Amino acid sequence: MGKNKFIIGIVVVIVVAIAGILLWLNFKQPTSFLSEAAMIEEMNSYTSSLNVKEIQDVLQLDEHHYFVPFVNYDGTKAMSFWKWDKAKWKLVNLTTHQKMRWQLDEKDLSSSFIVWNRSSAEDATMTLLFYRERNFLSSGDNHFFTPQVLLTEEITLSEYGITKVPEQWSKLMAELDKSAGVTNNSMFSFFNYNPNYLIAAEYNLEDFETNGTESYWTGKADTTLEFIMYYDLDRIQ
């Protein structure tokens, strides 16, 4: 009997200790961000395809996320994404794509930023657009129509930078996702309907060179990163 109590006591101590460690990992406040030397060492150790020459800047998006544009020894511009995760700063992604949408919280569309690092150092403009095609679904006497949605926002681009996705767009995305869920639970569910919206951009193609774009996912933290594709506004009727 005494032996059983001893074993139970040991198990309780172990469970409490594990719970304490997990709480510490998930709720420990971020420490100061990494030094340039530490960042370069981490990035260069991850892939031999990139060889970091210079950190251009360290841009804080919020308490737990940093965007770090950099230059490689071959002259290509690239971007790195960092997140405070499990009590340490972790490299999330390295990419030579020159423009991305980064949603910091997968469950919160309003946490989206547009980030870029262009080959040209001269200022330029880019028209960011939110687009949803019109669509029509029909089944017998039942019809479902979704109107076209087009919102635009012109932004000035320096060599590199960040800008928040307009709050109105985030709210609209959330509403469209919600309506898609309602539709998929209705008589139109067999269409496998989705809201068909995208965030893209129209810009001077010479302002964004293609450097054999590649992305290197470290798999160290969950996050949402999307390439910002080019979209010709004249295509939209």
pLDDT in tens, the chain (237 residues): 555 554 555 544 444 434 433 343 444 588 999 999 999 999 998 888 889 999 999 999 999 999 999 999 988 899 999 999 989 999 999 888 889 999 998 878 889 999 999 988 889 999 999 988 877 766 667 766 777 888 999 999 999 999 999 988 888 888 877 766 544 444 444 444 445 678 889 988 877 765 555 667 666 555 688 888 888 888 775
Give the domain extent around 66. 31-235
Q: What is the pLDDT of residues 131-158, one digit of tens each?
A: 888 777 666 677 667 778 889 999 999 9
Domain match, 218 and 190 both: yes
Domain match, 22 and 112 both: no
Distance CA 138, CA 201 (A): 32
Domain match, 67 and 17 both: no
Distance CA 169, CA 174 (A): 9
> Does the model's pTM come out above 0.85?
no
pLDDT value of position 237:
58
pLDDT value of position 151:
92
Domain match, 52 and 116 both: yes
Domain match, 225 and 130 both: yes
Domain match, 148 and 225 both: yes
